[in-house]
Structure formats: structure tokens, C-alpha cells
Amino acid sequence: MRGGLSKTVAVLGAAGLLAVSACGNSDDGGGGGDAAATKDVTVFTWWADGGEKAGLDGMVSVFNTECKDYKFVNSAVAGGAGSNAKQVLANDLAAGKPPSTFQAHAGAELSDYINAGQVDDVSGLYKEFGLDKAFPQNLIDNLTVDGKIYSIPANVHRANVTWTNPTVLKKAGLDATKAPASVDAWMADMDKLKAAGVKAPLAISKGFAQEMLVEVVLLAELGPDKFTNLWKGESWDGADVTAALEKYKKLLTYTNADREAIDWPDALQYLNKGQAGYFVMGDWVAAQQLADKVPDTAYTYWPSPGTAGNFQYLSDSFTLPTDGQNPDGAKCWLKVTGSAEGQKAFNTKKGSIPARSDAQPADYPKYQQSAMADWKKDKIVPSCAHGAACTLGQNNNILSAISQFSGSQNVAQLQKALGDAMKKS
């Protein structure tokens, strides 16, 4: 996660010599190459480290049992939210060198790859693996274009989560078990923390973490319907959007000064080390805490202030790239991705909940149990930063606007840039 643009390639697992594959025949290796190469299943993600890698390792352990004819090859590129990986992937795809499978978010982000003709229709695999009944219909709808389905979801993550350090909050007499009711009430609590000597009560990192903070403020201030419509073409010009962005500007005054220099695991350390009271981040934080053996009692979590009752979702899915390496091996990966066993091995470690509807909450850690309950009863709204609502191009333009704002603090400019970004595809 902290390793910059280094391509982490580790070979995990071994191909069984005599075992019969659950997914077919390894002789057909797609893209050619020698016999050894055709066994390789190159899996491209940005889960290179910590809790994210622990989740990937869980999936790999099932792959190694179920797909003994094949060999998992880790093509992870470090960097939160794919900040480096997405560009590397775009280059590989443009150069005609797709991996066997790659991670893509369900929703608008996936449509980029579909429109560019870079991923194959996997509807047939849904029938073959019995997945058409395993996933909730709204998720399948998000993956379907013109009646075809282009990826298999591994999970559902929640984006609108605020993580707290109860020991820090206690310094200002604040109750860590209860979320402030609104963004304003939250900022009042941050004033108390500042008065108690906590210089930067709200930990934050660069790029997508700032985008996530903008999103939870918009969701809190505008409500779920207007929030969702902003990503569907509704105008960004209103005074309500201006007022919400002003609150975002004020929120930044409570954050660490090095916010442009660090990625999310480092911001989480500010929270864990007691230098901050709050951190807004998706629930891959639960995975990181688990991987770092941070006890449950050292942190609490709630829906970001003003967003209770809304579940801002994103979903990681795996694709079958057009002309990818070893499509049969990739199909075995996809079978594991969609399977009950694969989803359990992955999601118990990843902080996310299974995309399948048949999972047993009792099999999961405490955080995921609460997320599963909310997923059932909350209003579902999409994440732009993680591809459910925004294309790669829109997201890139939004990220530039937000990083510019981090320096300029010009709300009018930010509002215009966000609106302009959503006018383009």
C-alpha cells in the first residue's frame, strides 16, 4: 500500500499434478505460450498489502483447492482504490496484454471496460455456476448491460463509515458509541477535541479519501435521492450543493496537514495512535484492523454523521478480459469468486459482506454482521469514488478537482468542476 508504483508479483500456490480441475481443461490456455504458462492465472488487483491482501489470500486458498490444474499468479499493484493500478491496467489492456482476470467495480466503472470491448460476456457462467439466483437482483442489474453480464461480484463494501478512537474522544467528554446527528454537530464535537489538544481530530489521506469525505457530506446534507441524482445528470449548480461544499471546506480545517502525502493506511494509523478521533473510510478498514490485530475495543464505527439509514455501497467484481491469458483458468477463478466458499474465505478477511444472499452472518466478524443487517434494511446509494456511480473518466476529473481544492479552497471552482466532470462520460 505504501510502495508506490512497484508491481508486486508473487506466485502463490502450486498446480496440482494429477488433480482434475473443477472448471475444465487446462490445455486450452488462450493467448498461447508454453505448457507451464498456460497454467498461470494472472489475477490483477490493487490488494497488495495488509487486510486487502489477507482477503485476496482467502480467495486464493479456495482457488488452490478448487482449481488444482491452475496456478495463481498475483499481479497486484499497490495503491489505495487502485490509484496506481488502474493506469497500469489501462496500459496493459491498450497494449493487448490483458491479465487472466482483473478487478473492476460494479456499475459505471465496469461499463467503461464493456464499452471499450475489453471484457467478455459471462452470462453463461451465471447459469453454469448457479449464480443467477445467488446474488440480489439490484446488484445483477448494476452489472448487466443490454441483457449481458460482464463480471462476477466478490463482495459489497460500505463507503459511508466513520471510524473513531474512543480513548481520544473521551478526552473531550465525547461518547464514541453514538454518532453526532449531523455534520454540524460533528464539527462542534471536533471543536471540543481541538480545545482538548487534539490538533487534527479528523484523519484523512490523499485523493480518493478526500473524495469520500465530499461524498458523505453531500449525502448527509442533500439526502439520498438528490445525492443519487447528482451522479445521474442532475445539476450541481444549486445553493444546497454550495452549502454542503462549504461544510466540506470547514471539515478540512480539522484534518492533518500532510493529507496530500499519505495513503489511507497511514491515515488509519493516526487514528490508532491517538493522534485523531475520526477517520472516514470504507469498511476495508475493518480488514486492516483485523490484519494488524487491533482489538475491537480500540475503535468504534458508525454511518458517517447525517447518513444513518443509508448504505453507500460499492462492489468489487472480477472480469473475463477479451483475449485474456488462460481463459479456462480465469473461469475457475470466477467460479471461486462467485461461490459460497470463496466469498466466505474472502469477505471474512476483507471487511466487506458477501454479494451472495445466502451467507450466514454468524460466520462473520462483528463489523460485517452489523453491515449485513444494515444492507438489508437501509436505503442503498452508490459510491462515485469506487465506480458504482462514476466512470473512470468522471472519477479522474473529480479527483483532480478535489486535489486542486485541497490547496485552493475555492468552493465555486470546486462546484463547477464537479458539475463539469459529471457532464462528461
- Nearer to ligand GAL by Cβ, of 46 and 279: the residue is 46
Binding part of the chain for ligand GAL, among 3-11, 30-38, 76-84, 271-279 by CB under 6 A, reads 76-84
Work out whether 349 is an interface residue with ligand GAL (CB under 6 A): no
Task: Tell me the per-residue interface mask from 314 to 343 with ligand GAL, x by CB under 6 A, - otherwise.
Answer: x-x---------------------------
Interface residue with ligand GAL, options 157, 331, 344, 356 (CB under 6 A) = 157
- Nearer to ligand GAL by Cβ, of 48 and 169: the residue is 48
Tell me which residues in 371-400 interact with ligand GAL (CB under 6 A).
386
Count of residues engaged in binding ligand GAL, rule: CB under 6 A: 13
- Nearer to ligand GAL by Cβ, of 26 and 347: the residue is 347
Cell matching residue 38: 498456460
Largest CA distance in the chain: 67
Interface residue with ligand GAL, options 40, 49, 52, 215 (CB under 6 A) = 52
- Nearer to ligand GAL by Cβ, of 47 and 186: the residue is 47
Is residue 75 within 8 Å of residue 99, measured between CB atoms? yes
Distance of closest approach, residue 25 Cβ to ligand GAL, in angstroms: 32
Binding part of the chain for ligand GAL, among 75-83, 137-145, 332-340, 404-412 by CB under 6 A, reads 75-83
Long-range contact set of residues 365-368: C-beta below 8 Å, sequence gap at least 24: 365/286, 365/290, 366/296, 367/283, 367/286, 367/301, 368/283, 368/286
CA dihedral for 348, 127, 35, 102, sign (positive or negative): negative
Distance of closest approach, residue 48 Cβ to ligand GAL, in angstroms: 9
Binding part of the chain for ligand GAL, among 33-41, 80-88, 210-218, 302-310 by CB under 6 A, reads 80-88
DSSP characters over 44-63: E-S--SHHHHHHHHHHHHHH
- Nearer to ligand GAL by Cβ, of 53 and 71: the residue is 53
Work out whether 284 is an interface residue with ligand GAL (CB under 6 A): yes
Cell matching residue 333: 477463478
Distance of closest approach, residue 313 Cβ to ligand GAL, in angstroms: 10
Is residue 259 within 8 Å of residue 251, measured between CB atoms? no
DSSP characters over 280-326: E--THHHHHHHHTT--GGG-EEEEPTT-TTEEEEE-EEEE-BTT-B-
Other beta carbons within 10 angstroms of residue 81's beta carbon come to 24
Cα torsion 333, 338, 339, 345 to 10°: value is 80
- Nearer to ligand GAL by Cβ, of 49 and 69: the residue is 49
386: nearest Cα among 161, 46, 88, 82 = 82
- Nearer to ligand GAL by Cβ, of 81 and 200: the residue is 81
Work out whether 248 is an interface residue with ligand GAL (CB under 6 A): no
8: nearest Cα among 55, 42, 39, 41 = 42
Residues 6+ positions from 160 with CB-CB distance below 8 Å: 215, 216, 219, 280, 303, 304, 307, 310, 311, 312
- The helices-and-strands tally (H runs, E runs) of the chain is 17, 15
- Nearer to ligand GAL by Cβ, of 76 and 418: the residue is 76
Binding part of the chain for ligand GAL, among 44-52, 66-74, 107-115, 245-253 by CB under 6 A, reads 44-52
- Nearer to ligand GAL by Cβ, of 265 and 329: the residue is 265
Is residue 212 within 8 Å of residue 282, measured between CB atoms? yes
Work out whether 81 is an interface residue with ligand GAL (CB under 6 A): yes
Interatomic CA distance for residues 56 and 76, integer angstroms: 10
Tell me which residues in 87-146 interact with ligand GAL (CB under 6 A).
105
Q: Which residues bind ligand GAL (CB under 6 A)?
A: 46-47, 52, 80-82, 105, 157, 282, 284, 314, 316, 386
